[in-house]
Amino acid sequence: MQLPRIFTAMVTPFNESGEMDYDQAGRLAEWLMAHGSEGLILSGTTGESPALTDSERMRLLRAVRERLGPDVPLWMGTGTNNTVHSRELSWEAADNGADGVLLVCPYYNKPPQEGLIRHFTQIATGLPIPVMLYNIPSRTGVNLLPASVRTITQECDNVVAIKEAGGSLPQLQELIGVLPPRVRVYSGDDAMYFTALTLGAYGVVSVAAHLVGNELGTMTQSVLEGNLERARRIHATLTPLFQELFRYTNPISVKWALNYLGIPVGDVRLPLVTPHHEQAFESLRQLIIRLVSAGLYSEAEA
């Protein structure tokens, strides 16, 4: 199975009433695939999964699948801090056309490593579609260690990737070293992606690809071709954008940016809120203007 290198963790569009806008979700997905994304992950952190109902998740999946057709890699976030619920969601995602599932570490519970191993293996065992693990200690309060990832992949052949957002280059390097080649390591942090690539990471699960998917693809290809200088220049150009997109809790800033560019995705849902003071997004606005002027990004309606 050939996995995409540039996965975009897609935002979830809402209308002015705060309800899911399924038509716009389909249009956004189509637009992203035309602008550098190679696959999409729905209802992940960037998709505001904690604020979605189970029925909204599945209807979103069906709407985007109908719009994109059967050939686009379409994965779905189904991880929760409840093992049984996560397994049920994962099977439902498979039944509704997902090509794979993204399973975040259980949050709030703070399980030990043995609990993490058993949680993921129980969800993945028998699941008819592949699994990507997701380690992000800053949100979950628990760090999935490389040795635990290796154990999980040894027990479950369908665990084929991990999104690593631990913020530690030594841990990332260890992870790449202990996993078999069939298990792909993705950077879960746009700002660390260039370095992750040079260490042997396979790809990125990106937020910034909403805006600069083509550039991330060019950077990836440059590293694969050995042109590190060109890749470094792209990374340096995009770094200010990476930083601004995470000034506020994701996906507040990227949703603001898309709306600013004329791609309507609505506001975030509570408990997230968008800052409304005058200078809240001024730095991001100026960056987008420079990107457009430099030809790195073209405004377009989704």
Q: List beta partners, residue 75.
A: 41, 100
- From the CB of residue 126, how many other CB atoms can be counted at a distance below 10 Å? 10
CB of 165 closer than 8 Å to CB of 134? yes
Q: Is 163 a catalytic residue?
A: yes
Residue in this structure with the two tokens 């913020």, named with its chain if needed:
167
Q: Is 134 a catalytic residue?
A: yes
Q: Is 237 annotated as a binding residue?
A: no
With residue 213 as reference, give the H or E element that holds it: helix 209-224
Pick from 44, 92, 40: which is nearest to 68 by CA? 40
Contact partners, residue 75, CB within 8 Å, separation at least 6:
7, 39, 40, 41, 42, 98, 99, 100, 101, 102, 132
**Catalytic-labelled residue, pool 134, 186, 202, 297:** 134
Q: Is 205 annotated as a binding residue?
A: yes
**Catalytic-labelled residue, pool 22, 107, 108, 163:** 163
Q: List beta partners, residue 103.
A: 133
- Give the active site residues: 134, 163
Provide the annotated binding site for pyruvate.
46, 205
Provide the annotated binding site.
46, 205
